[in-house]
Amino acid sequence: MTAKIITITSGKGGVGKTTAVANIAVSLAARGQKVVCIDGDIGLRNLDVVLGLENRIVYDLVDVIEGRCRLRQAMIRDKRLPELHLIPAAQTRDKSAVSPSDMIRLGDELREECDWVIIDSPAGIERGFRNAIAAADKVLVMTNPEVSAVRDADRVVGLLDADEKGPASLIINRLNITMVKRGDMLAVEDVLELLAIELIGIVPEDEGVIVASNRGTPLALDPKSRAGLAFQNIARRILGEEIPFLDLENHNLLQRIFTGRKTT
Amino acid sequence: MSDPIQIKGLREGLLVTLGDGPWEEIAAALLQRVTDQPAFFQGARLALDIGAHELRVVELSALRDQLSERGMTLWAILSESPTTEQTAQNLGMATRISKPRPEDARPVFEAPAENVALWVHQTVRSGTRIEFAGPVVVLGDVNPGGEIMAGGSVIVWGRLRGVVHAGAQGDEKAVVCALDLAPTQLRIAAEIAVSPQRSGKSHPEIACLRDGQIVAELWQAS
Ligand SMILES: Nc1ncnc2c1ncn2[C@@H]1O[C@H](COP(=O)(O)OP(=O)(O)OP(=O)(O)O)[C@@H](O)[C@H]1O
Ligand SMILES: [Mg+2]
Q: What is the ipTM of this complex?
A: 0.76
The total number of structural domains that make up chain B: 2
Q: Which of A93-97, A117-121, B45-49, B79-83 has the highest mean pLDDT?
A: A117-121
Nearest residue on chain B to A156, alpha-carbon basis: B126
Residue B116 forms part of a structural domain: yes
A-B contacts at Cβ under 8 angstroms: 62
- Domain extent at residue A27: 11-263
Cα-based distances in Å from B68 to A100, B34, B45: 9, 11, 10
pLDDT exceeding 90 applies to what percent of chain A?
Answer: 79
Residue B97 forms part of a structural domain: no
- Domain extent at residue B67: 5-90
pLDDT at B105 over 60: no
CB contact under 8 A, B92 and A162: yes
Distance from CA of A100 to the nearest CA of B (A): 7
Residue A6 forms part of a structural domain: no
- Residues in chain B within 8 Å Cβ distance of A125: 92
Residue A170: strand, helix, or coil: strand
pLDDT at B69 over 90: no
The CATH code of the domain that includes B82 is: 3.30.750.50
CB contact under 8 A, B126 and A151: yes
State how far the Cα of A151 lies from the Cα of B79, in Å rounded to an integer.
Answer: 29
pLDDT at A104 over 70: yes
Cross-chain CB nearest to B123 (options A130, A164, A264): A264
The total number of structural domains that make up chain A: 1
Please, which residues have CB within 8 angstroms of residue A197's CB and are 6 or more apart in sequence?
A141, A157, A166, A167, A168, A169, A170, A263
pLDDT at A67 over 90: yes
pLDDT at B101 over 50: no
State how far the Cα of A226 lies from the Cα of B23, in Å rounded to an integer.
Answer: 54
Please write the tens of the pLDDT for every residue from A134-151: 999 999 999 999 999 999
Neighbours of A86 (CB within 10 A): 28
The CATH code of the domain that includes A19 is: 3.40.50.300
Residues B73 and B114 in one domain: no
The CATH code of the domain that includes B170 is: 2.160.20.70
Cross-chain CB nearest to A99 (options B61, B69, B144): B69
Nearest residue on chain B to A196, alpha-carbon basis: B123
